[in-house]
């Protein structure tokens, strides 16, 4: 039995999962964990496949100042307590730019190319790449696969991909990429099982979480997305504004003296639900609040979601199903109901009881458009891609603790595995 490790690293947390791969080649989730509070109150938590708590451990800030140290601590725990020595690692990488339209085996050239896209996803890309570099330095022979959030959207038409600016910029990579592709790819695949009639038709998927976007699927293929050049576009999010007139940015630069760094901080950290409400970027807190600013932020989120759905329905030329997924989409019956109200003109009707029960199908019997709640699983998509890439390169999964020991001198720092 070989183990594949899946890593999804952010600025203050590292999520990780391990999948056992048997002789049949099917991955089975064995451990799900994360390290959060990196740099402030580091905490390692993990559970087994049945939900039993395996570890809940706090660390001093000095032991875990960054994502590399966090992943190393998680690796040390997995090796010491569970004798886990991954035979391969799959990573979520937000931006693949114009170079990568599919997952890729990591080498130094790939890392160098992906570094170029840090300015396009500064909230994500540096943290996605940090564990890749760290693992490559300490386990140079361990296969790593980069799986891109942009790849699923690379089949968009040129009309959909272009901005209305000079063509030379498109050739340089300034284009509408789209994100959350691993989530949408999983949903497209999952629909074939849970709602095959929808999977073959025209579907809008709403990935609603701290990061939020929507995607138009035609027979399981992405044809349009609300996000574009960076993960800033489209729907308002936890701390990002979504669609904004570029003239606003020119105004802030010219009249308020804001430079690129100040604008980046505003757009990535102080906008969206947090900016509108002045209270929180967490939809749960906003829903529970009676503060008018919180109510306004929720109203704005719902309103923009409705507008975006209309745009995507136009791109599809109709609508057969609307799918809610991700943290808000899967768990907030209130937000689902509010958005569905704005989609009645498209033929969406909600069954209140099914919605409250978080059923798979929440549409009413007379609804012309199916409304579904389908939990996403980006990690499963990553492990599938990782196994496919290894097979493409004829690389066998090897469970060899001796082979995957850290290189000399790389495994002795405090808090590192």
Locate 194 and state its tokens. 């849970």
SS3 371: strand
Q: Any alpha helices (H) in 206-365, and if so which ranges?
A: 246-256, 260-269, 272-277, 283-288, 292-316, 326-331, 333-341, 352-356
Catalytic: 149? yes
**Which one is catalytic: 36, 83, 101, 149?**
149
SS3 205: strand
Using an 8 Å Cβ cutoff, are 30 and 86 in contact? no
Put residue 108 in one of left, alpha, beta given phi > 0 → left and psi -120 to 50 → alpha. Answer: alpha
SS3 375: coil
- Which stretch of DSSP H or E encloses residue 203? strand 202-208
Using an 8 Å Cβ cutoff, are 94 and 128 in contact? yes
| DSSP class of 36 | E
The residue written with tokens 């329905």 in the block is: 313
Residue whose C-alpha is closest to residue 231's, from 4, 10, 3, 2: 10
How far apart are alpha carbons 390 and 47 in whole angstroms?
27
Residue whose C-alpha is closest to residue 177's, from 211, 150, 216: 150
* Strand spans (E) along 59-122: 88-93, 104-105
How far apart are alpha carbons 351 and 364 in whole angstroms?
4
Using an 8 Å Cβ cutoff, are 242 and 233 in contact? yes
Locate 161 and state its tokens. 């991909």
Active site residues: 149
């Amino acid at each position: 039995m070989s183990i594949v490790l899946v890593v999804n690293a952010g600025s203050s947390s590292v999520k990780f999962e391990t999948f056992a791969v048997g002789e049949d080649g099917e991955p089975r989730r064995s451990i799900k964990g994360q390290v959060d509070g990196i740099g402030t109150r580091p905490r390692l938590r993990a559970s087994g496949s049945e939900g039993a708590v395996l570890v809940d451990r706090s660390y001093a800030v000095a032991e875990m100042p960054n994502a590399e140290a966090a992943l190393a601590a998680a690796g040390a725990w997995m090796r010491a307590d569970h004798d886990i020595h991954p035979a391969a690692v799959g990573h979520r990488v937000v931006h693949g730019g114009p170079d990568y339209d599919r997952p890729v085996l990591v080498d130094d050239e790939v890392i160098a190319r992906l570094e170029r896209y840090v300015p396009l996803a500064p909230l994500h890309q540096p943290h996605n790449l940090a564990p890749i570099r760290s693992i490559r330095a300490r386990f140079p022979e361990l296969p790593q696969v980069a799986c891109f959030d942009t790849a699923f959207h690379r089949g968009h038409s040129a009309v959909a991909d272009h901005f209305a600016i000079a063509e030379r910029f498109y050739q340089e990579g300034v284009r509408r990429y789209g994100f959350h592709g691993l989530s949408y790819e999983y949903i497209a695949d999952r629909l074939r099982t849970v709602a095959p009639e929808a999977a073959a038709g025209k579907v809008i998927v709403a990935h609603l979480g701290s990061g939020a976007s929507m995607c138009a699927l035609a027979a399981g293929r992405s044809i349009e997305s609300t996000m574009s050049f960076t993960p800033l576009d489209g729907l308002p999010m936890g701390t990002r504004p979504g669609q904004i007139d570029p003239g606003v940015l020119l105004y802030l630069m010219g009249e308020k003296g804001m430079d690129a760094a100040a604008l980046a901080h505003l757009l990535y950290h102080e906008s969206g639900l947090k900016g509108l409400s002045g209270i929180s970027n967490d939809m749960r807190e906003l829903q529970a609040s009676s503060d008018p600013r919180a109510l306004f932020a929720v109203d704005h989120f719902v309103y923009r979601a409705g507008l975006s759905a209309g745009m995507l329905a136009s791109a599809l030329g109709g609508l057969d199903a609307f799918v809610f997924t991700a943290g808000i989409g899967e768990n907030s019956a209130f937000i689902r109901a509010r958005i569905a109200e704005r989609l009645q003109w498209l033929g969406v009707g909600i069954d209140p009881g099914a919605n409250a029960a978080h059923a798979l199908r929440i549409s009413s019997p007379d609804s012309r458009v199916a409304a579904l709640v389908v939990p996403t699983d980006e990690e499963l998509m990553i492990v599938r891609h990782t196994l496919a890439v290894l097979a493409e390169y004829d690389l066998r999964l090897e469970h060899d603790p001796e082979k995957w020991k850290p290189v000399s001198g790389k495994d002795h720092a405090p808090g590192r595995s």
